[in-house]
């Protein structure tokens, strides 16, 4: 069959206006889309773009409070800054490259400088309203998908100055999206840590920090597990807080101009180098870098004039210099600061210096003890023929590329041949891999990392994930626990969670771990089929189908055919993110759920068991009625 010839002429050339281009290529403006289950999904970027403008006003000394309300996916953000000039409200939210940040004297160290963010929110919303309050007058403009719906005349107002933005994201672009409050709360905490004194109200909850990054580390750590009190040092355009815990790996929180740079960049690389260099010089000993940084938890924030980020979502700093017109590099700026400020701190606090030295020496001993064990474990992993027996790999890996398709690579961890077989047959081979567990994993709470290399299942799992040395080498962006919806399945899920929290907590903290939600019921007749994820959906399906409904309770993943499974791990896959709340440190949480029995835990189990029994009884009664 002859190949169809593509005609390329004047009719092939098309010009898009700003709205069309943003809606056609949203990833260029806000990164990946998603449904809200990941912390970097697009709906959170939309919210961040609006809040960033409020923060810029605060940094300039205008307004000390931001109000955020989210109800039924409707977002309202109100600041108390100067307010958009009333004659430019429409232009500021609907004309690309229009804004007040091009004058570097006014917004010298702002987050966004290209006038795109708010316009992207406007274009990607089915409803968008901008309202400005200035000196007793207010101006309102309403939009749909970036198109002006109504321009209201100027009105008198008693409201204080500021700007209010309301938007509802377009659910044809962000399919089945939902906001997860824990993600938003963490975002807000970061804003108040970096802007000490700023008050943010989110759905009537108050967020405030008095001591900046010191408060951040207090919230992120368990005081009982700290090897020494948190070191908090500040300078012009830089703030650092750091300590060491008993955890494994390194944990960093990095910021530029108030923006959380989740992927680090030149400033974080400079900090890691500067910390090691300062420590070596202070103790006059050439420590191994791994021993210095092992178990560190640190936060670093710098302010750079006209920063250059590697993407519109500003997750990684690319700037090499502190300002376009200055010759001092980011690297040298951070090194010079750490060399003086940290060195001075350690001299003034000899107890902290001694405790830090003990931590480094302990890391050195542990590393040397583990060297032989790791070598044997690597040999065992090769002999186990991992990629043939345990792992059904995908063709693309997370650490190969960061474009949206490859960014969403997934590893399903499941148990049993039938379940892993169904997922393997129905998965997307390009981006989805399957790791099959054999039996229940070991309860590793309270054990050392030595067990990871000595236990075959754990050893093979960490090799499959490629995290033996560092989580930066992680081969899959999403690690999804897929277990049966019964007591055994829940127990396996809990043991896997314990493994990651005990030995690789930064995977959880960096939002890589999820739980797969699969239907509990199938309700159908000859015309219709409904897959129900909870009892409410089941009741609704029964009501719609009527008395002839056939109800199937899926007790195990193996009971779901590969053809059906493909519906649940495709575009509409439901994932429940594993989110850590900071009101209970990891070790305390693991001790409560996975340690020796306590009366509190026994009471918790008894109370929740009663709820489960009641729910099962109600379901059985309903099925008898059908």
Which contacts of 58-62 are long-range, i.e. CB under 8 A and separated by 24 or more positions?
58/195, 58/198, 59/109, 59/110, 59/195, 59/258, 60/106, 60/107
Q: Residue 343: what pLDDT?
A: 95
Average the pLDDT over each of 70-84, 180-194, 445-459, 607-621 and give the range with the smallest value: 607-621
Q: Is the pLDDT of residue 625 over 50?
A: no
- In this structure, of 144-158, 160-174, 231-245, 460-474, the range with the lowest mean pLDDT score is 460-474
Inform me whether the pLDDT recorded for 312 exceeds 60.
no
- What is the enclosing helix (H) or strand (E) of 403? none
pLDDT band at 558 (very low <50, low <70, confident <90, very high): confident
Nearest to 70 by CA among 190, 259, 205, 172: 205
* Whole-number Å distance between alpha carbons of 75 and 574: 23
Domain residue limits, the chain: 18-208, 213-361, 384-518+554-595
Buried b (16+ CB within 10 A) or exposed e, 322-340: bbeeeeeebbebbbebbee
User: Can you give the pLDDT at residue 80?
Assistant: 95
> In Å, how far are 279, 316, 584 from 63, measured between CA atoms?
41, 28, 33
Q: How confident is the model at residue 318 (pLDDT cuts 50, 70, 90)?
A: low
* DSSP state letters, 512-565: -EEEEE--SEEEE-SS-EEEESSHHHHHHHHHHH-TT-EEEE--SGGGS-HHHH
Q: What is the structure's pLDDT at 292?
A: 93
Task: Tell me the per-residue pLDDT of 152-163, one tens digit each, with 9 for 90 and over.
Answer: 999 999 999 999
Choose the weakest-confidence range: 292-301, 424-433, 554-563, 613-622: 613-622
Q: Residue ranges of the alpha helices (H) in 569-598?
A: 586-594
Over residues 302-325, mean pLDDT: 68
pLDDT-derived band at 351, boundaries 50, 70, 90: very high
Which pLDDT score, from 0 to 100, does residue 626 have? 41
Q: What pLDDT is recorded for position 3?
A: 54
**Cα–Cα distance, 34 to 46 (Å, whole number):** 12
Structure tokens at 462: 């960490």
- CATH number for the domain whose boundaries are 18-208: 3.30.565.10
Q: Given strand 529-532, what is the order of strands in its sheet?
A: 529-532, 521-524, 550-553
The predicted-structure confidence for 360-373, as pLDDT tens digits, reads as follows 999 998 888 887 77
Cα angle, residue 619 at apex, residues 615 and 620 outer, rounded to 5° = 120
| Stretch 377-404: mean pLDDT | 71
pLDDT digits (tens, 9 = 90+) for 341-350: 999 999 999 9
Residue closest to 428 by CA, chosen among 484, 480, 497: 480
∠ CA(226), CA(230), CA(236), 5° rounding?
160
Question: What mean pLDDT, rounded, does the chain reach?
Answer: 83
- Report helix, strand and coil shares of the chain as percent, to nearest 5: 45, 20, 35
By three-state DSSP, how is residue 422 classified? Answer: helix
| 146, 18 Cβ separation under 8 angstroms | yes
**Beta strand pairing call for 296-302 and 251-256:** parallel
Residue 270 and residue 317: Cα distance in Å, rounded?
11
What residues contact residue 17 under an 8 Å CB cut-off, 6+ apart? none
Q: Which of 110-114, 182-186, 310-314, 593-597 has the lowest mean pLDDT?
A: 110-114
pLDDT of residue 618: 46
**Closest by alpha carbon to 513, among 465, 457, 458?**
465
- φ and ψ of 215, to 5 deg: -65, -40
**239-279 tens-digit pLDDT:** 999 999 887 778 889 998 878 887 778 889 999 999 999 99
Residue 583 has pLDDT above 60, yes or no: no
Cβ–Cβ < 8 Å for 134, 82: yes
Edge to edge, the sheet with strand 259-260 lists 231-235, 238-244, 296-302, 251-256, 259-260
Mean pLDDT along residues 458-480: 88
Architecture of domain 384-518+554-595: 3-Layer(aba) Sandwich (3.40)
3-class DSSP assignment, residue 592: helix
Half-sphere exposure (Cβ direction) of 384: Cα atoms closer than 13 Å: 20
- Who wins on pLDDT, 124 or 611? 124
**End-to-end C-alpha distance for the chain, whole angstroms:** 56
Higher pLDDT, 98 or 133: 133
User: How many helices, marked H, and strands, marked E, lie in the chain?
Assistant: 22, 23
Q: How many CB atoms lie within 10 A of CB 235?
A: 15
DSSP annotation string for 51-103:
HHHHHHHHHTT--SEEEEEEETTEEEEEE-SS---GGGHHHHHHSTT-SS-S-
φ/ψ of residue 440, rounded to 5: -80, 135
Residue-level pLDDT at 75: 96
pLDDT at 621 > cutoff 60: no
pLDDT band, very low/low/confident/very high, at 383 (cuts 50, 70, 90)? low
| Predicted local distance difference test score (pLDDT) of residue 609 | 66
Considering the segment(s) 213-361 as one domain, its CATH architecture is: 2-Layer Sandwich (3.30)
User: With 70 as the cut, is the pLDDT of residue 386 above it?
Assistant: no
- Angle at CA of residue 288, ends 285 and 293, nearest 5°: 105
In 3D, which of 373, 396, 575 has the Cα closest to residue 462? Answer: 373
Burial class (CB in 10 A: 0-12, 13-18, 19+), 21: middle
Query: How far is 343 from 338, CA to CA, in rounded Å?
Result: 7
Q: Which residue has the higher pLDDT, 9 or 425?
A: 425
Provide the 3-class DSSP secondary structure of residue 199: strand
Confidence of residue 325 (pLDDT cuts 50, 70, 90): low
The C-alpha atoms of residue 419 and residue 34 are separated, in whole angstroms, by 26
Mean pLDDT calculated for residue range 203-216? 94
pLDDT band of 13, cuts 50, 70, 90: low
Rounded percentage of the chain residues whose pLDDT exceeds 70: 84
Long-range contacts of 329-336 (CB under 8 A, 24+ apart): 330/266, 330/267, 330/270, 330/302, 330/304, 331/266, 331/269, 331/270, 331/273, 333/237, 333/238, 333/270, 333/302, 334/238, 334/267, 334/270, 334/271, 334/274, 334/300, 334/302, 335/270, 335/273, 335/274, 335/277
Task: Quote the pLDDT of residue 361.
Answer: 94
d(Cα 221, Cα 308) in Å, to the nearest integer? 31
Confidence of residue 620 (pLDDT cuts 50, 70, 90): very low
Residue 489 is predicted with a pLDDT of: 85
27-54 residue pLDDT tens: 778 878 888 888 888 899 999 999 988 9
Backbone angles phi, psi at 288, to 5 degrees: -65, 140
| For residue 408, pLDDT beyond 70 | yes
């Amino acid at each position: 069959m002859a190949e169809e010839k593509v005609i390329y002429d004047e009719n092939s050339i098309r010009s898009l206006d700003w709205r069309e281009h943003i809606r056609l290529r949203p990833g260029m403006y806000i990164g990946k889309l998603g449904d809200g289950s990941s912390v970097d999904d697009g709906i959170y970027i939309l919210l961040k773009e609006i809040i960033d403008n409020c923060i810029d006003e605060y940094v300039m000394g205008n307004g000390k409070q931001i109000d955020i309300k989210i109800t039924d996916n409707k977002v309202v953000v109100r600041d108390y800054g100067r307010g958009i000039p009333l004659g430019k409200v429409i232009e500021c939210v609907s004309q690309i490259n229009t804004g007040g940040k091009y004058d570097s004297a006014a917004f010298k160290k702002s987050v966004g400088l290209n006038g795109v963010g708010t316009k992207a929110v406007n274009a990607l919303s089915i409803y968008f309203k901008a309202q400005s309050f200035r000196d007793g007058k207010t101006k309102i403009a309403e939009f749909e998908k970036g198109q002006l719906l109504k321009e209201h005349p100027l009105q008198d107002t008693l409201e204080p100055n500021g700007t209010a933005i309301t938007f509802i994201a377009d659910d044809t672009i962000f399919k089945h999206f939902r906001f997860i409050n824990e993600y938003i709360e963490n975002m807000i905490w970061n804003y108040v840590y970096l802007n000490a004194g700023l008050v943010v109200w989110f759905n009537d909850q108050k967020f405030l920090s008095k001591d900046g990054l010191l408060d951040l580390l207090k919230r992120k750590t368990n005081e009982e597990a700290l090897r020494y009190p948190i070191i908090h040092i500040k300078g012009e355009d830089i703030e650092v807080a750091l300590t060491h815990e008993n955890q494994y790996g390194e944990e960093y929180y990095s910021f530029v101009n108030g923006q959380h740079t989740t992927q680090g960049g030149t400033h974080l690389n400079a900090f890691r180098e500067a910390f090691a260099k300062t420590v070596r010089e202070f103790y006059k000993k050439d420590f191994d870098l791994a021993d210095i940084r092992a178990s560190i938890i640190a936060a670093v924030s710098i302010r750079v004039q006209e920063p250059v980020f590697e993407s519109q979502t500003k997750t990684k700093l690319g700037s090499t210099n502190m300002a376009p017109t200055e010759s001092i590099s980011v690297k040298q700026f951070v090194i010079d600061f750490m060399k003086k400020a940290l060195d001075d701190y350690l001299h003034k606090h000899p107890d902290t210096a001694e405790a830090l030295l003990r931590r480094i020496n302990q890391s050195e001993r542990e590393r040397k003890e583990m060297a032989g064990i790791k070598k044997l474990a690597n040999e065992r992993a090769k002999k186990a023929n991992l990629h043939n027996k345990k792992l059904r790999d995908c063709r693309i890996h997370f650490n190969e590329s960061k474009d949206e398709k490859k960014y969403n690579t997934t590893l399903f961890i499941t148990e049993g041949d039938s379940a892993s077989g169904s997922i393997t047959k129905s998965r997307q081979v390009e981006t989805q891999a399957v790791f099959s567990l054999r039996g229940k994993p070991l309860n590793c709470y309270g054990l050392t990392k030595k067990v990871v290399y000595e236990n075959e299942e754990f050893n093979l799992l960490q090799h499959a994930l490629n995290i033996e040395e560092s989580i930066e080498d992680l081969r899959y962006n999403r690690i999804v626990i897929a277990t049966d919806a019964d007591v055994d399945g829940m127990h396996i899920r809990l043991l896997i969670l314990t493994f990651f929290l005990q030995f690789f907590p930064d995977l959880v903290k960096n939002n890589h771990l999820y739980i797969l939600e699969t239907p509990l019921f199938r309700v159908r007749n000859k015309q219709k089929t409904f897959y129900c994820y909870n009892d409410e959906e089941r009741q609704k399906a029964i009501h719609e189908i009527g008395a002839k409904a056939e109800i199937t309770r899926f007790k195990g993943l193996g009971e779901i055919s590969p053809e059906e499974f493909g519906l649940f791990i495709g575009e509409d896959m439901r994932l429940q993110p594993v989110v850590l709340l900071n009101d209970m440190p990891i070790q305390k949480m693991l001790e409560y759920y996975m340690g020796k029995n306590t009366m509190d835990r026994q009471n918790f189990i008894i109370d929740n068991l009663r709820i489960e029994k009641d729910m099962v009884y109600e379901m059985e009664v309903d099925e008898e009625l059908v």
